[in-house]
């Protein structure tokens, strides 16, 4: 919405002039006379400019001024903020959306600037106008601010000022005001008289059956929140009937929001009422003709399970969950697959294993070979967690074949998700059982064409190394880790360097000296300058973990030799490396070996080499 820029501003504030045509000197006089008396305090001039900018043609200037509204209000004082600034702001509601959004946010923090809770109702008119605008984000922010300041109203002010505002919004001609009203019922309901409570319940009922789907959607999204503040009797008499109606709405966008409310409603009701009041509607939602509604049931399944308790879970939710895992829509199967571990964990202990083995595992076996990669990927991210629930024997017999099948899956995300959760299996059966299948999967991922897949597998390498042991690692994976150091993507080379450091921390300095360091130092003679630089990055990362002796005897001579490299990028990285490994070296090595090289680099023809050499001399105190 465009601003009616410069039209009808508050005469008291703007001195009756149009600031777009002419910046109002009246404003400045108004502010400076008020704030500085006759002192002519120039420090207050910026405040006057801010007020001028509230009506400037440039939207960015108006936005900047709105964001500094609290500064203007502080300068004006509480009385003039109430009597001049707020009416002026209410008049300017017709503006660009980003200005209105900033205004809605600012007003939520204005309580003390208008004189505290006693005068907080003065903020309601501009926020009421903002709650009716067309742009959703502005309305939502206005409702958020209204909810915030409702807590600062006294019970009397709430009934006198706030509750009438809610009624006006709820019975507005435009759907925009009615959607905003839905978010305000729950904040005022607990603190008003029983008569007003009855009126609020009636308004909410009306909005739940509004002709406009957007309003019913807003009501459905706030149904659970409203139910939480109602007395139990009214939950049973009012909310359940509204819940049933919204869950059968002709619009699936309304029905799916009713599923969300179901979680809140189920937690409020006693166990004996759930079967009759909630479950028929929930069963209907789980089999809804719209996949979006079924998706929402799958997505909220763990919360629903906790809300309805173990008995209903066994009798109703287990078959419903099976159906969702076999749903014809891939999105629903993926959402359900994501909840497999959580659902199994929350099953009653006395019958958990039997339910999983009989009802859940057959469905899981089917999903392992699902045609949709998102379903398989969702399952792979949680399936390993079942091993801790089912124990060693069941894992070896039933889950291990599934893990092995997923490790050979054509989709890299599936293989990656299995590898990233190996620690669960390691706790139960040890990783050796998987090692023969793991290796081809790791190698394939390590050489995947997508660099992000390669990056992800590098990040899991220290975990794998710790679980597989040093011998297996040296035999099968060491070569892979070194190959990453010369990958054509910098992010991979960088991650591979960090990976080496973590491996040294895990396997020790002696292992590094025998296995890693010679290979890293060998790259110093590589014809590709990027690979020579990787040597330096590795030395930076490894020096601390390897300790003084290895750094001084093996790494330092290589770094010093590289100071004669023909490529300036390598030379200035030599200076940076010497600065990095300096603290690990003893003072003799610093003075006799490092200092002469840095002094030579400080006179290099390349300005970057000079700069980093001088910085290293300064940091290492070698000057």
Over the chain (623 residues), what is each successive 10-residue block's mean pLDDT? 36 34 36 42 54 72 78 81 80 74 85 83 86 88 89 83 87 88 86 85 88 90 87 84 88 88 85 83 87 92 86 86 90 92 87 88 90 91 86 83 83 83 74 69 80 83 80 81 87 90 87 87 89 91 86 90 91 92 87 90 91 91 73
pLDDT at 134: 87
Token pair listed for 486: 């010369």
User: What token pair was written down for 106?
Assistant: 């600012």
pLDDT number for residue 210: 86
Q: Are 97 and 138 in contact (CB under 8 A)?
A: yes
> H helices then E strands: how many in the chain?
48, 0
Q: Identify the residue whose tokens are 């809300």.
A: 307
Question: What is the per-residue pLDDT for 9?
Answer: 32
Report the pLDDT value the prediction gives residue 600, as an integer from 0 to 100. 92
CA distances (Å), origin 277, targets 257, 274, 310: 18, 5, 17
Residue 611, pLDDT score: 93
DSSP state of 160: I
CA distance 39 to 56: 28
CA 550 to chain centre: 43
pLDDT for 43 equals: 46
Model-wide pTM > 0.75: no
Which of these, 495, 433, 503, lies nearest to 466 by C-alpha position?
A: 503
- DSSP states of 139-176: HHHHHHHHHHHHTTS-HHHIIIIIHHHHHHHHT-SSHH
Handedness of CA 138, 140, 142, 144 (dihedral sign): negative
Which DSSP letter does residue 42 get?
G
Tokens for 416, please give them. 């990656």
**How far separated are the first and last CA of the chain, in Å rounded?**
65
Containing 393, the helix (H) or strand (E) segment is helix 386-394
Structure tokens at 450: 């997508």
Query: Can you tell me the distance from the alpha carbon of 455 to that of 493, in angstroms, rounded to the nearest whole number?
Result: 9
Instruction: Centre a 10 Å sphere on the Cβ of residue 384 and count the other Cβ atoms it contains.
Output: 25
Q: Are 113 and 122 in contact (CB under 8 A)?
A: no
Backbone phi, then psi, for 469, in 5-degree steps? 90, 160
Tell me 416's DSSP state.
H
- Evaluate whether 344 touches 360 at the Cβ level (below 8 Å): yes
The C-alpha atoms of residue 61 and residue 165 are separated, in whole angstroms, by 31
Q: Is-contact 418 380, C-beta < 8 A?
A: yes
């Amino acid at each position: 919405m465009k601003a009616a820029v410069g039209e009808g501003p508050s005469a008291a504030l703007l001195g009756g002039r149009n600031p777009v045509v002419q910046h109002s000197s009246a404003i400045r006089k108004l502010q400076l006379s008020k704030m500085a008396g006759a002192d002519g305090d120039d420090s207050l001039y910026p405040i006057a400019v801010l007020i001028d900018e509230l009506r400037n043609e440039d939207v960015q200037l108006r936005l900047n001024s709105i964001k500094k509204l609290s500064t203007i209000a502080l300068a004006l004082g509480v009385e003039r903020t109430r009597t001049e600034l707020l009416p002026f702001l209410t008049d300017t509601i017709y503006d660009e959306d980003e200005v209105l959004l900033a205004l809605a946010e600012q007003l939520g923090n204005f309580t003390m600037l208008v004189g505290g809770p006693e005068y907080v109702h003065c903020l309601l008119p501009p926020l009421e106008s903002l709650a009716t605008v067309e742009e959703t984000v502005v309305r939502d922010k206005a409702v958020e601010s209204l909810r915030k300041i409702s807590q600062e109203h006294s019970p009397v002010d709430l009934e006198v000022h706030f509750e009438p505002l809610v009624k006006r919004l709820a019975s507005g001609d435009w759907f925009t005001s009615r959607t905003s009203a839905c978010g305000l019922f729950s904040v005022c309901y607990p603190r008003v008289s029983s008569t007003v409570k009855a009126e609020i319940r009636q308004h909410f009922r009306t909005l739940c059956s509004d002709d406009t789907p957007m309003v019913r959607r807003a009501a459905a999204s706030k149904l659970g929140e409203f139910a939480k503040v109602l007395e139990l009797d009214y939950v049973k008499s009012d909310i359940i009937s509204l819940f049933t109606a919204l869950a059968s709405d002709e619009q699936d966008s309304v029905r799916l929001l009713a599923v969300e409310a179901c979680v809140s409603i189920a937690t409020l009701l006693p166990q004996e009422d759930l079967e009759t009041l909630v479950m028929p509607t929930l069963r209907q939602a789980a089999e809804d003709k719209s996949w979006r509604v079924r998706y929402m049931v799958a997505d909220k399944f763990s919360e629903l399970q906790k809300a309805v308790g173990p008995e209903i879970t066994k009798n109703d939710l287990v078959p419903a969950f099976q159906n969702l895992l076999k749903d014809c829509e891939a999105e629903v199967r993926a959402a359900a697959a994501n909840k497999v571990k959580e659902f199994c964990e929350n099953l009653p202990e006395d019958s958990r294993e039997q339910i999983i083995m009989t009802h859940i595992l057959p469905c899981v076996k089917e999903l392992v070979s699902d045609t949709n990669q998102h379903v398989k990927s969702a399952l792979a991210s949680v399936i390993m967690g079942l091993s801790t629930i089912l124990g060693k024997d069941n894992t070896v017999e039933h889950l291990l074949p599934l893990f092995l099948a997923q490790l050979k899956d054509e989709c890299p995300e599936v293989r990656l998700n299995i590898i990233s959760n190996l620690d669960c299996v390691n706790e139960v059966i040890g990783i050796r059982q998987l090692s023969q299948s793991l290796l081809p999967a790791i190698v394939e991922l390590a050489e995947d064409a997508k660099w992000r897949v390669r990056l992800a597998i590098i990040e899991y390498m220290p975990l794998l190394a710790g679980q597989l042991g040093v011998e297996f690692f040296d035999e099968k994976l060491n070569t892979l880790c070194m190959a990453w150091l010369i990958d054509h993507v910098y992010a991979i080379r960088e991650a591979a360097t960090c990976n080496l450091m973590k491996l040294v921390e895990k396997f020790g300095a002696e292992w590094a000296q025998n296995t890693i360091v010679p290979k890293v130092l060998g790259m110093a003679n590589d014809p590709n300058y990027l690979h020579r630089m990787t040597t330096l990055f590795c030395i930076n990362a490894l020096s601390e973990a390897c300790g003084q002796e290895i750094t001084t005897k093996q790494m330092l001579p290589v770094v010093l030799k590289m100071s004669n490299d023909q490529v300036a990028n390598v030379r200035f990285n030599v200076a940076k490396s010497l600065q990095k490994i300096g603290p690990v070296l003893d003072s003799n090595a610093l003075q006799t070996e490092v200092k002469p090289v840095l002094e030579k680099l400080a006179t290099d023809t390349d300005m970057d080499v000079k700069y980093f050499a001088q910085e290293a001399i300064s940091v290492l105190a070698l000057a």
